[in-house]
Amino acid sequence: MPADDQAYQDLVDRIHYSDRYSDDYFEYRHVLLPRQMLKLIPKGYFEPDSNVLRLLTEDEWRGIGITQSLGWEHYEVHAPEPHVLLFRREKDYQAKNAQPRY
């Protein structure tokens, strides 16, 4: 993505991150991309048959401008709204993976 492109940066600034919610195993959040951003996402990120965004690797979702702390995985797409990406990570991930301070 062209990070120096002002129109792109304006879209990145409009990405919405939900509050976190959890169950016994994972914490979750959803990320809403501005609809216009879908036009800028590489075609290879979409399933060819349905034109729904496929699950993205961490490098891919970070590459389109999504910023989150470590441990999140893109685990589901809300098919009726391909601009809604669902993320999860292991509950207490940060505490379990904290680096010791010296």
pLDDT of residue 100: 62
Count of domains forming the chain: 1
Structural domain boundaries, residue 64: 6-93
- Reported as a single tens digit per residue, the pLDDT across 65-93 is 999 999 999 999 888 888 899 999 999 87
Q: Give domain status of residue 46, yes or no.
A: yes
pLDDT, mean of residues 6-26: 93
Q: Give domain status of residue 53, yes or no.
A: yes
Supply 5's token pair: 């492109």
> How many angstroms from the chain centroid is the CA of residue 56?
8
Query: What is the residue whose two structure tokens read 């993976």?
Result: 97
Q: Give domain status of residue 44, yes or no.
A: yes
CA–CA distance, 25 with 5 (Å, rounded to integer):
39
pLDDT of residue 52: 82
Question: 6: how many CB neighbours lie within 10 A of its CB?
Answer: 8
Range among 20-34, 46-60, 78-92 rated most confident:
20-34
Q: Give domain status of residue 1, yes or no.
A: no
